[in-house]
């Protein structure tokens, strides 16, 4: 295990949380976009909320072998984004017959984005980002003190 293991682990989390913040910001920015993609029928669809899926970084054979043998494995290697998926929740409908995207009944399909939920997700990602910065600074401080021992 490297002396920089803790820093590398926190750095991977920083990268993942930054992407999570970017996706939440994109969701908020497109909360009212009624024309985001064209479906298979050639019609416009509203923006569909996106979500980030994380997974552990350590997928080595040794980690699977240790798990199968019930032996303690090495500490985690960090986190990575495995996918960015679209939320399959149905679109919201609003009655507005004057809207250019209204259907024959006067309803407009709106994105399945809840701005309140996105703000909570954004705050959570920000706090996780801050916690990882604090962990990196603490690790850096411990490494500096370890170097001072040799003086």
pLDDT in tens, the chain (151 residues): 577 888 888 999 999 999 999 999 999 999 999 888 888 888 889 999 999 999 888 766 666 676 677 765 556 678 889 999 999 999 999 999 999 888 899 999 999 999 999 999 999 999 999 999 999 999 999 999 988 987 7
- What are the tokens at 49? 């909320």
Spans of all domains in the chain = 1-31+55-86+114-151, 32-49+90-112
Are 16 and 56 spatial neighbours (Cβ–Cβ below 8 Å)? no
- What are the tokens at 141? 């401080």
For the whole model, what pTM was predicted? 0.81
128 alpha carbon, distance to own chain's centre: 11
- What are the tokens at 44? 């416009």
CA atoms of 15 and 22, how far apart (whole Å) = 11
CA atoms of 133 and 6, how far apart (whole Å) = 11
Q: Which residues pair with 95 in a beta bridge?
A: 107
Q: Does residue 106 come out as left (phi exceeding 0), alpha (psi in the -120 to 50 range) or beta?
A: left
């Amino acid at each position: 295990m490297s002396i920089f293991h803790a820093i590398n682990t926190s750095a991977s989390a920083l990268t993942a949380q930054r992407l999570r913040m970017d996706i939440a910001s994109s969701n908020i920015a497109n909360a009212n976009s009624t024309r985001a993609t064209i479906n298979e029928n050639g019609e416009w669809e509203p923006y569909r909320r996106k979500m980030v899926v994380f997974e552990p970084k350590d997928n080595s054979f040794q980690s699977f072998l240790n798990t199968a043998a019930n032996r303690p494995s090495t500490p985690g290697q960090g986190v990575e984004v495995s996918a960015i998926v679209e939320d399959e929740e149905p679109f919201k409908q609003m009655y507005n017959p004057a809207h250019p995207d209204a259907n024959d009944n006067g309803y407009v399909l709106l994105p399945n984005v809840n701005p309140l939920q996105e703000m909570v997700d954004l705050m959570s990602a920000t706090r996780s980002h801050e916690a990882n910065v604090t962990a990196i600074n603490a690790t850096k401080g411990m490494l500096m003190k370890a170097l001072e021992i040799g003086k």
